[in-house]
Structure 1
């Protein structure tokens, strides 16, 4: 795939007319509705005006059932052409789609633009053509299909539109990874960030180090909440896990390329390396043999960070990244760099002389020393290094790209130093966080509502916009054990991120976005894809109105709880009870924050829109309210 930095410098097309009557995600850059409509029938014919096989295959895959003519004929109602549209200057991912009563014309300067134009055209077709797995019906329905007359000129706002899948904490098969890529492609994402190694599993075959997958890809099976899972028992069978062979990886990379998606592999280091350390204990300062934990309880107790002061560490890194570089043709390798506990380094006999010889005063500077050496290895393989924003600590490697997850601060600092940045703040972009009130959601941590994902703005005011490559949605899988739950966590929040990264900022419209989301749920139902409606649920925030105190009689007086109830959709009516009865539209209507009554044992809430209940009702015991206030 060509470099994806190009879109940052493209001349933006004017939004010369915008309509809310179409159900497109992401919203195109410009739309003008015409008069009339085009009708597709079983006799409709399609002309692909290029000899490029890739384009012909792409068209046939996305518009099956239509007869393709070898040459443009008078009977061809739909034409697909590789060319720069008249009167427009589009970048390599841009396209023009014109629908008139007499036919459809799709034009783009490069194959990527044609691909995205086809995704838009598919969204204009009715949901009844969808089939499980987002395969399109192979025949045109006998009933006529109409598309409104319109002109769309479109190209992305950002060149980096990514989604990340963590396959270390929960392993997903090659076939599901391809399904994940299919969904990305439908919504015009173009970077698949593949998190292939972590403490809980090593997922990619390294032929020169076969024990990495023989040992590091397997752990004791566990269910339940991440933080409650018991530690492994000595001698316990290591039966949960799996890995991708190098042939698997090549197949996934080809599959992504056919959908104009670049795959970026991540091998996390120097921390998050327990799966490798369980295989090769000498990678650490202590050299201690450790198991692969199915939880995070070991952090700071066991050394999960490789030793940055032994030359053997860099020989290991060179072997791994050498094979990774040959498997992934894209320009980047992600080396993590996040959450590396450095306490074991501070007391390491091998590290003290290295720090002294290199004038390193802190262990943060030692991590910078490590990342700079790793960057040279990455560059020796013809690649560029990406790391999480912790790689800023102690001094940033000269040519590193920073992926900013701890908010926007790290990315802003990196951009001010002249580095390229990918913004992915957890408050907006982490799809494993709670998306609704915790009382009605599967257990996880943190909070990222659909409104937060849609409010994400990747470019801070204080930096040069061209240094912000884009952003991405991240799915960590500590609390995501199945593919169905992965989909539940991703959608519709990944609709929001797709629109933020593709569409002009000025076209963002929350009520209209929700309308379009509901339309796409119909497509997901037809395709058998799971999703969440958590944005329809009420949510609660709690504050202590006064601190716990002791009265004049020496008795403890508990603090009061101030309850605020909210909803993501304006115009929603909220009703609640505190007497353990089931609320309905005749219960107390919420109008302002209130103090939770003394002696009440739970709060129940229900939401109504247009006189009908929506979403899930909440039922929160007082103990949970107290815990949230703490």
Structure 2
């Protein structure tokens, strides 16, 4: 190694941001920058020193246009080998780039895959052009193959690095789901949590229960804000929706496996089941026929929960999970368990004798009874149960894994009981929330800025670290109607969570992360992928004093930013009043405008907020 590296610069924390290191996301465990570069040309060959077909295929796919020649000498070529690497686990790798060649070594196929993703990021942004191949001998092609000299030893901090896509509220095609998986895999995520069913649509074919997709996959078409959408009209054509056939499911699962991604299906129950109930009304306590609502206004008014007191409910679940287990080879089935309104159970005639017979004191314990029975069904299929943290209510099923979304407390409670936990608190991990000031963002609810996601720490001080499997980013789609908008909501916050879950905790450096994010935007531009730059915008906080005065606080996610504002209906620039401290909004003024400047130049979007909106925030 000493013979091929000159003037090594080693990652020395916490000062690594000053070193001329490549803009990699997530940050590797160890990185050393060398002198010089290697250039991939059409003459470069691939020596793949393993007969494992999976590895050979992933190398060929990652370096399109290059020829595999296992007899190629290391000089001026790329050598990939499956072999042990000291102190590197199954998903780790060692990547050495020198002016005379590239060597990638990993103990297992997963490590080879992640090393190839790092190698891809070391290439210029042109690598992301659709249809890119290392072909031709032009100067342009050569420049597109330049890789800086570097030595990287890398492995993940957590084994569970997940992203969730909700396809019930908004349906996404099989092709887009594959694109979603492909992009998450490039940033070293390894779990695709597929939220396949909810109140607004049942998206997976269950052959033994055909009405689930004949009826449950379709609803009245609506646009606009989620809770402003009109209810369905009797007799209206149910034309919005869709579902995945079992062959399509198998195709997606295989596609994910080729990218080292495990697919975890979620069939949400006992609540969030309105689409199934529309198809089979006997699943509820009342047996009432209901439509599929294209909004959330029905909650607590219509019964969207399964009847936990009838054996027929568990026969239905058994049928569903029999087919689910056959389609998804991974070890988990996610059963939801969140936001189950229990008011209808309190009035259910069938529930009272069940409570008496089983010593259940309240409806929370009915949910626990339900989840325990469901866990036995899941285990009978050779799978393990995961549920949202509400499955703690009334007592946790014996072998359940808890996904903690209502903050960290549910995960802490589950870990203290000895259960495995996946941390995904909405404050850091819900990428469907506002990522900037709401005045400059598409409509949604709540807020999770890029800096909030980067500040996520999955391991609380008070629990055994080995019980925290990892974490994940969640994209709920009530307010995400298109795949283009899904990209806008996911990126760059998914960069932040990828780094939290992969990189060593002590390498986290917010200013350097922002630098690397902006470098990756150029890659997304070439690839035609949408993303948000909301972290460049100012944001406004409003406080109302007891005297009725409205006080304005301006802020920004980045350090060293100058904010300028106006309240006189003019457009602000660097000659406008500079924000120095909170100020009282002038009486009679009807709007606030704010701009941000970095290094003397405007960045982000100008905020333009009417006083009526400011007053609403104050309330």
TM-score bracket for this pair, using the shorter chain length: over 0.9
Residue 586, structure 1, aligned to residue 571, structure 2: no
Instruction: Judge conservation of contact 2:572–2:594 (CA < 8 Å) in 1.
Output: yes
Instruction: Judge conservation of contact 2:41–2:134 (CA < 8 Å) in 1.
Output: no
Cα distance in 2 between the residues matched to 1:129 and 1:407: 39
Aligned to 2:135: 139
Aligned to 2:3: none
Cα distance in 2 between the residues matched to 1:524 and 1:136: 14
Cα distance in 2 between the residues matched to 1:37 and 1:527: 24
Cα distance in 1 between the residues matched to 2:395 and 2:441: 40
Runs of 4+ in 1 over 6 A off after TM superposition: 14-17
Cα distance in 2 between the residues matched to 1:140 and 1:461: 55
Q: Deviations over 1:267-292 (max 9, x none)?
A: 00000000000111110011110000
The Cα shift of 1:138 comes to 4.9
Summarize the Cα distance change of 1:140–1:420 in structure 2 as closer, same or farther, 3 Å threshold.
Answer: farther
**Residue 237 of structure 1 aligns to a residue in which SS?**
coil
Q: Please show how residues 93-104 of structure 1 align to structure 2 within 5 Å.
A: 93-104=91-102
Aligned to 2:7: none
Cα distance in 1 between the residues matched to 2:196 and 2:405: 18
Cα distance in 1 between the residues matched to 2:132 and 2:386: 36
Aligned to 2:193: 193
Cα distance in 1 between the residues matched to 2:324 and 2:129: 35
Higher alpha-carbon deviation: 595-604 or 220-229: 595-604
Aligned to 1:179: 179
Aligned to 1:572: 561
Cα distance in 2 between the residues matched to 1:74 and 1:287: 70
**Residue 348 of structure 2 aligns to a residue in which SS?**
coil
Q: Deviations over 1:231-276 (max 9, x none)?
A: 0000000000000000000000000000000000000000000000
- Residue of structure 2 aligned with 1:130, choices 128, 131, 144: 128
Cα distance in 2 between the residues matched to 1:300 and 1:391: 19
Q: Please show how residues 603-614 of structure 1 align to structure 2 within 5 Å.
A: 603-614=592-603
Cα distance in 2 between the residues matched to 1:75 and 1:408: 51
Aligned to 1:40: 40
Q: Please show how residues 383-398 of structure 1 align to structure 2 within 5 Å.
A: 383-398=383-398
Q: Please show how residues 260-409 of structure 1 align to structure 2 within 5 Å.
A: 260-409=260-409
Instruction: Judge conservation of contact 1:42–1:142 (CA < 8 Å) in 2.
Output: no
Q: Deviations over 1:125-183 (max 9, x none)?
A: 11112223xx5435266322322222100000000000000000000000000000010
Q: Point out where structure 1 has 5 or more consecutive residues left out of the alignment.
A: 1-13, 548-558
Instruction: Judge conservation of contact 1:45–1:75 (CA < 8 Å) in 2.
Output: no
Q: Deviations over 1:494-538 (max 9, x none)?
A: 000000000001001111111111111111011110000000000
* TM norm structure 1: 0.94
Q: Deviations over 1:177-196 (max 9, x none)?
A: 00000101110000000000
Aligned to 1:7: none
Cα distance in 1 between the residues matched to 2:582 and 2:354: 58
Instruction: Judge conservation of contact 2:178–2:255 (CA < 8 Å) in 1.
Output: yes
The Cα shift of 1:67 comes to 1.9
Q: Deviations over 1:523-569 (max 9, x none)?
A: 1011110000000000001111116xxxxxxxxxxx11111100111
Q: Please show how residues 62-211 of structure 1 align to structure 2 within 5 Å.
A: 62-73=62-73, 77-85=77-85, 88-132=86-130, 136-139=132-135, 142-143=138-139, 144=142, 145-211=145-211
The Cα shift of 1:70 comes to 3.0
Instruction: Judge conservation of contact 2:536–2:556 (CA < 8 Å) in 1.
Output: yes
Aligned-residue RMSD, C-alpha: 1.2
The Cα shift of 1:16 comes to 6.3
Aligned to 2:5: none
Q: Please show how residues 589-604 of structure 1 align to structure 2 within 5 Å.
A: 589-604=578-593
